[in-house]
Amino acid sequence: MKKIKIKVDGLNFYYHQKRVLKDLKAELEENLITVISGPSGEGKTTFLMSLNRIYESIPQSRMDGKIMMKFGGGYVDIHSLSPSSLRKKVGMVFQYPNPLPMSIFKNVAFPLKLSGIKDKSYVAGRVEEVLKDAFLWDEVKDRLMDSALKLSGGQQQRLCISRAMIMQPEVMLLDEPTSSLDKDAADKIEKLLLNFKGRCTFVIVSHDGDLIGRIADRVLTLKGGKF
Amino acid sequence: MSRFMEYGVTLFAWVSGLILVSTIGSLLTFLLYKGIPALSLPLIFGETGPIDGLLLRKEVFDGLFPAIVGTLLLVIISVIWAIPIGVAGGIYLAEYCKLEWKSFFNFFLDVLAGIPSILVGLFGFTVSIFLHKHLSREVYPCLLISSLALACLVLPYIIRTTEQALRDLPFSIKTTGLVLGSSKLQNILFILIPYSFSRIISGIILAIGRCAEDTAVIMLTGVVAMAGIPSTLFSQYEALPFYIYYISSDFGSQEELMTGYGASLILLFICTFLFTLARILKKKVAIRFANLI
């Protein structure tokens, strides 16, 4: 029997007066990789942004409809949670890597510090764990205190995914995570995603047909504001 | 675009740049040429010994030392009032203000930025009279009133630069903290301000320059020709811009006019010193921000 993690019902999304998503309905399965594809400008990123309510940072944008997520056994309307507690459960990585201007270690540990976790050995252990999961540990273990801005684009993107994964989110949203990278770097991201597969529900926006074929459990095509 | 236009625009850009550099160059050369011969310890300390003057053991009556101290105090105190309010105002406009209120605040900010400084001075003067009548007979135009009036004058610069700096950050940077579960305040403190710190400091540097050079505001709010070093915020004070204005409009001899050039050069040094200090702070604080987390 299918285990549904995210239920979207009657989702409409507006920028100013423009309706981008139209009465969208979808059910996304738990711990699988769902890829959202479709032509540019159809609202794929908007759909991702509505799942963690980050659209609320965009002036004059609004949504109506219902998004329910299964947390702790029951379904919860995402608007009943505070934005910060929702986003601790629903991580997100953008198309272009956005490491903070601080060391590699501090970047990855940043979400733990935000949550007030001060146990140094726990933090160090978690940082090592996620960096190993992202196949980045061997590349950076000797320079953890170097600025994250010195890493290559692909390494920065893996660092951003590690940073998002350190809070052990139940849902991970990735917006075209490989589109700004060369083939080698993109392959490493793919390997990383397969490594994380099964640990949380991935919703990925991608145009890369080959990548979709290799990693997706399910593909949803967004066209004309509808799946 | 035709080749002729391409060359024309490039040439115009070069000539404009050259005019800018040569104007600043000529101004500095003129000031150095006229000011350097006037610079001397007696110009600053008069007949008082420099050590005695610096350690405030003896008052300096016929030198620029009280005006230098007055200018420094005025700039520092004005900026101390203006920075927290200006930065907080900029953060409010960029991050918290509802769209329908934004145009309302922007209108008032534009009005404040466009008010001639003499009117700000007049307002400060009126406030001091009001306080004198209704609060205490001891309140007169003074350093406090001048610094508050100057803070009003430079607030729009700081608010606008802060707002613009925060607003210009790319969406993915702006929301870095938010998508990781930070609160709005944590995101502002740990992400937005460190990222836009350098531009915020640029606004503060502009404000410092404006505070140091403005004469109209202080003329009506507390500066006098002879006051010595102010002992409290409620004291009258001397300031270099006022001295330069006073000497250049009412000099009795060529020697007296030369002291005006000397004072201008010293004012320029003070501004350079404050700008350099602000830039050093910019680097130091940026590093501290990076290590904050």
Chain A contacts of B291, Cβ < 8 Å? 102
Chain A contacts of B99, Cβ < 8 Å? 59-60
* Cβ A58 vs Cβ A3: under 8 Å: no
For A141-158, what is each residue's pLDDT tens digit? 999 999 999 999 999 999
Mind giving me the DSSP string for A195-226? HHBTTBEEEEE---HHHHHHH-SEEEE-BTTB
Residue A183 scores a pLDDT above 90: no
Residue A157, domain extent: 4-221
> What is the pLDDT at residue A196?
87
> What is the pLDDT at residue B82?
96
Q: Hey, is B197 helix, strand or coil?
A: helix
B-interface mutation test, from A85, A100, A103, most B Cβ less than 10 A away: A100
Residue from the list B99, B173, B179 with its beta carbon closest to the beta carbon of A87 = B179
As a whole number of angstroms, the distance between CA A158 and CA A167 comes to 15
For A87-136, what is each residue's pLDDT tens digit? 999 999 999 999 988 899 999 999 999 888 989 999 999 999 999 999 99
Indicate the pTM of the whole model.
0.83
Residue A227 lies in a domain: no
As a whole number of angstroms, the distance between CA B71 and CA B48 comes to 20
* Cβ A192 vs Cβ A134: under 8 Å: yes
> What is the pLDDT at residue B289?
61
> What is the pLDDT at residue B1?
64
Residue A162 scores a pLDDT above 90: yes
Residue A9 lies in a domain: yes
Residue A41 lies in a domain: yes
Which amino acid belongs to residue A186? Answer: A
Chain A contacts of B176, Cβ < 8 Å? 98, 100
* Cβ B278 vs Cβ B204: under 8 Å: yes
What is the separation, in whole angstroms, between the first and last Cα of chain A?
A: 23
As a whole number of angstroms, the distance between CA B52 and CA B55 comes to 5
Q: Hey, is B239 helix, strand or coil?
A: coil
Give me the residues of B, 255-284, that contact A with CB < 8 A: none
**Per-residue confidence of chain B (293 residues) as pLDDT tens digits?**
688 889 999 999 999 999 999 999 999 999 999 999 999 999 999 888 888 888 888 888 889 999 999 999 999 999 999 999 999 999 999 999 988 899 999 999 999 999 999 999 999 999 999 999 998 888 889 999 999 999 999 999 999 999 999 999 988 889 999 999 999 999 999 889 988 888 898 888 889 888 998 999 999 998 998 888 999 999 999 999 999 999 999 888 888 899 999 999 999 999 888 888 888 877 777 666 655 54
**Total structural domains in chain A?**
1
A-interface mutation test, from B180, B184, B189, most A Cβ less than 10 A away: B180
Q: Tell which phi-psi region holds residue A198, choosing left (phi > 0), alpha (psi between -120 and 50) or beta.
A: left
> What is the pLDDT at residue B69?
95
For residue A166, give the chain B residue with the closest CA.
B180
> What is the pLDDT at residue B262?
94
Chain B contacts of A101, Cβ < 8 Å? 194-195, 290
Give me the residues of B, 67-126, that contact A with CB < 8 A: 99
> What is the pLDDT at residue B293?
46
A161: CATH: 3.40.50.300
The shortest C-alpha distance from A109 to chain B (Å) reads 9
Q: How many CB atoms lie within 10 A of CB B171?
A: 13
Size of interface A-B (CB pairs under 8 A): 61
| Length in residues, chain B | 293
Q: Which domains are delineated in chain B?
A: 39-292 (1.10.3720.10)
User: What pLDDT band is residue A50 in, cutting at 50, 70 and 90?
Assistant: very high
Residue A24 lies in a domain: yes
For residue B195, give the chain A residue with the closest CA.
A101
* Cβ B158 vs Cβ B83: under 8 Å: yes
> What is the pLDDT at residue B286?
65
Chain B contacts of A115, Cβ < 8 Å? 181
Q: Per the CB < 8 Å rule, is A54 touching B178?
A: yes
> What is the pLDDT at residue B287?
63
As a whole number of angstroms, the distance between CA A184 and CA A60 comes to 39
Q: Per the CB < 8 Å rule, is B178 touching A60?
A: no
Residue A110 lies in a domain: yes
